[in-house]
Amino acid sequence: MPKFKSARIHDQTLTRGAGGELHQTAEDGFDTLTTAQGGPVADDQNALKIGARGPTLIEDFHFREKMFHFDHERIPERVVHARGYGAHGFFETYEPLIEFTRADIFQRAGEITPVFVRFSTVAGSKGSADLARDVRGFAVKFYTQEGNWDLVGNNIPVFFIQDAIKFPDIIHAVKPEPDRGFPQAQSAHDNFWDFISLTPESMNMIMWVMSDRAIPRSFRFMEGFGVHTFRLLDENDKSTFVKFIWKPKLGMQSVMWNEAVKINGADPDFHRRDLWNAIQAGDFPEWELCLQLFDQDFADSFDFDVLDPTKLIPEELIKPIPVGRLVLDRMPDNFFAETEQVAFMTQNVPPGIDFSDDPLLQGRNFSYLDTQLKRLGSPNFTHIPVNAPKCPFAHFQQDGHMAMRNPKGRVNYQPNSHGLGPREDPQRGHRSHATPPEGPKQRLRPESFADHYSQARQFYLSQTAVEQKHIASALVFELAKCELPVIRERMIAHLLNIDGPLAETVAEKLGIKMLPDPADAAVAPVDLPESPALSILSNPPESFAGRKVGALICDGVDAALVQELADALASEGAMLEVIAPKIGGARAADGSLIPAMHMVDGGPSVLFDAVALILTPEGAERLAGDVAARDFVSDAFAHCKFIAHTQGATALLEAVGIEPTADEGLLPLDLGTCADFVATCRQIRLWARERALKP
C-alpha cells in the first residue's frame, strides 16, 4: 500500500494519496459529503474503474449524478466554451493511412471532407471578451462518409485534471464566485487558485495557462490538440495509439498581457472580427493535421502514462506527421443556427478511430450527450442541419420534441420478419478495441499518474527568457488578486518544485519574505530534456502573412508612399489599415482622398501587428497634442512592435519621449523602403526592447 501524508487546511483534514490527490477524512463538526439522495460519499476524487488504469464503469452512480447535475446547470448557453465562433471549411487528406486505420476519411489521397470548426474560450459567458487569459477550444466536426467525427480539443495539449469526476470542481472554481457573480472570464481570484493550489496534478496545465499560449493573437495563429490519447484501428483491428495536433500554416503568435487588456477595451470581438475579416477577404485560414503515432512498447517505455491527460509526448520524442490540411473558407449563414447550435461530442468517431482508457476522455464520452440534451432541448438535435451527417444514415429512432423525420412505413423495430429497415453490419460498423480489463473495482489513481511537476518544469525551462518572464508576470498578476495569503503561499510551495528562481521571483513580487517548504510531491520531480517545440518564440512564423499594419496618416502625405506600403504588404499576404484624424480619411498632397478605416480614437495600435507613421511635420505637431495619437505610438513602442516612420513624424515620436533612432525597431520610411520594412516585420516583435524597458 502507498504511504499517505496528511495536511490540515482550514477546518478540514486532508490526506494525500500516491497520485497527489487530496482526500477528506471524518472530523467532528464537519459535514460528510453525500449524493443528492443523501448517501455518504467515500471518494469524490476518483471515478470507479476496473483496475487503476482501466475503463470507467457506468455503474458509478455518484459520478453519474455529479456529472448529470453539472451538465444541466445552465440554459441556454454552454456551461463551458460559451464564448465561441465558428466557420465552415474542408479537410483534404494527403495520403492514405491504410496501414494504421480503416477510417474512411484516411483511405484516399486528396479526399475532401466538409468540416465545421468552432473556436472558443472556456471560462467566460457568451458576452465576455475575446482576449481573456484562458484556454481556447478548438473543436472540429468532420462530416465523413461514414458518419460525423468530432475532434473536440483545445489550443493546449494537456488539462487541469486527470479524472472526469473533478471536472465540475475545476469549472466551478474558475467561474464567477457564486456569492458575488464575478470575476467574469478570469482565473485571477481566490476560488480558482484555492482549487489549483490543492490539486498538484494541475501544475503542468498552470504553466501553459500562465504562458502566452493563453492569450493568442488570433484563432489563425494558434495550435490545436486532441489532448487525449486515442486509438487508430486497421482492417484487422490492430491498434496504434495516436495524438492529434493542428499546426497553423501562418505560424504561432500571441499578444502581451497589457496589450490583451487594451484590446478587450478597444474591440472585445477582436478574435471574431479577425476570423470574419480573413475569410471574407479570401485569406482562408489553414492548419495541418499532424499525428503522433506510437505502439504499446513506446507507451510502456515512456516516462509518463499515455492515459494521463495532464501529460504530453514531446515532439522531439515522436515527431508529428502531417496527414492532411484544414481550410476554413465560409462563414455561417446564421450565427445562432450553426455556431450556437452545433453539438460536439467526443464519442462521435467513425469506424477505425477508437478510445483509450484515459479517465478524462471516458468521462467526456459519457457526459457530452447529457449536455446536448439540456442545451438543445431534445434528443433530436441531430435533425439540426449543422449537426446532421452528410452521408446516408438510417435508424429506428423516432418521435420526441422537434422530430423532423421518423421511420416510414409499418416497421420501427429490429429484428423484424418483414424484411424492412436497416440492419447492423459487423464488417463496416464501429468495432471497439478488445482491451481486456484487469483488476478490482476501485477508486484511485494509478502510480503512473503521480508525477505532477516534471513536465511542468520541462515546459517552463523550454521557454525563451522573454516567455519565462511573461509566465512569472502572469503568476504575480493572478495571485495578487487572491485575498487569502495562504493560497499564495501554497502556490509558491508548488512553484518551488517547478523552478526555484521562478518561485523566488513570484514570491518577491508578492511580498512573501520567507519562502515556504516545497510542496509534498508524491513523486520527486526529475529534469527532462528541454523541448523547443513547446515555445512560441522558438518557432517563429516564416512570413508576415495574415498580419496587419496600422498606418497613421494626416493631410498632405504622399499617396504614392501609402500605396507602396499597401502593395508591399499585399505581396507578403498581409494587409494595411489606415487610421486618420477623421473617419473620412485624409487628403493627400496630390489632392486625392486616402480613405481611413479608423479614426485615431477608434484605431489604437493594439489592433495591429506593426505600425507606420506616415505624417507631415505639421500633421505630427497637431497629433502630438492628441492623447489617442500619443497612446497609439507609446503603446506600439511598449508592446515591442516595429514602427516605420516618415521624417515628418518626428514631433509625434518625441512627444512621447521616443527618439527616432532609439532602437532597430524604429525604421525610416520613404519611397523604395516599404518592402524592407515588411521584411523586418516577419520577426513580429523586437523583444530586446522589452528587456531594455523593463530590466
Contacts of 644 (CB under 8 A, 6+ apart): 565, 610, 611, 612, 613, 667, 668, 669, 673, 674, 677
CA distance 448 to 240: 21
Q: Which residues of the chain fall short of a pLDDT of 50? A: 1-18, 20-26, 28
- Say if 71-387 and 448-534 have the same CATH topology: no
Predicted local distance difference test score (pLDDT) of residue 534: 98
Write out pLDDT tens, residues 282-306: 999 999 999 999 999 999 999 999 9
Write out pLDDT tens, residues 390-414: 988 888 888 888 888 888 888 888 8
CATH code of domain 548-693: 3.40.50.880
Domains of the chain: which residue ranges? 71-387, 448-534, 548-693
Predicted local distance difference test score (pLDDT) of residue 18: 46
Phi, psi of 496, rounded to the nearest 5 degrees: -65, -25
Contacts of 134 (CB under 8 A, 6+ apart): 121, 122, 123, 124, 185, 187, 209, 214
CA distances for 364 relative to 127, 174, 205, 348, 396, angstroms: 25, 19, 18, 11, 26
CATH superfamily of 448-534: Catalase, four-helical domain (1.20.1370.20)
Q: Quick one: CA dihedral 328, 333, 334, 337, positive or negative?
A: negative
Predicted local distance difference test score (pLDDT) of residue 2: 37
Phi, psi of 661, rounded to the nearest 5 degrees: -115, 30
| 54 neighbors 438 (Cβ within 8 angstroms) | yes
| 382 neighbors 369 (Cβ within 8 angstroms) | no
C-alpha closest to that of 331 among 259, 384, 276, 255: 276
This prediction's pTM: 0.91
Predicted local distance difference test score (pLDDT) of residue 25: 45
Residue holding cell 464567477?
A: 176
Sequential DSSP letters for 258-277: HHHHHHHHH-TTHHHHHHHH
* 57's grid cell: 464503469
| 618 neighbors 556 (Cβ within 8 angstroms) | yes
- Number of helices (H), then strands (E), in the chain: 19, 23
Contacts of 339 (CB under 8 A, 6+ apart): 84, 85, 86, 118, 332
Write out pLDDT tens, residues 70-121: 887 765 789 899 999 999 999 999 999 999 999 999 999 999 999 999 999 9
User: Which residues are annotated as catalytic?
Assistant: 81, 154
CA distance 48 to 495: 31
C-alpha closest to that of 600 among 570, 569, 619, 578: 578
Q: How many CA atoms lie within 13 A of 99 on its CB side?
A: 4
Contacts of 87 (CB under 8 A, 6+ apart): 116, 117, 275, 279, 285, 328, 329, 330, 331, 332
Structural fold of domain 71-387: Catalase HpII,  Chain A, domain 1 (2.40.180)
Residue holding cell 472570464?
A: 185
Predicted local distance difference test score (pLDDT) of residue 628: 97
Determine the length of the chain: 695
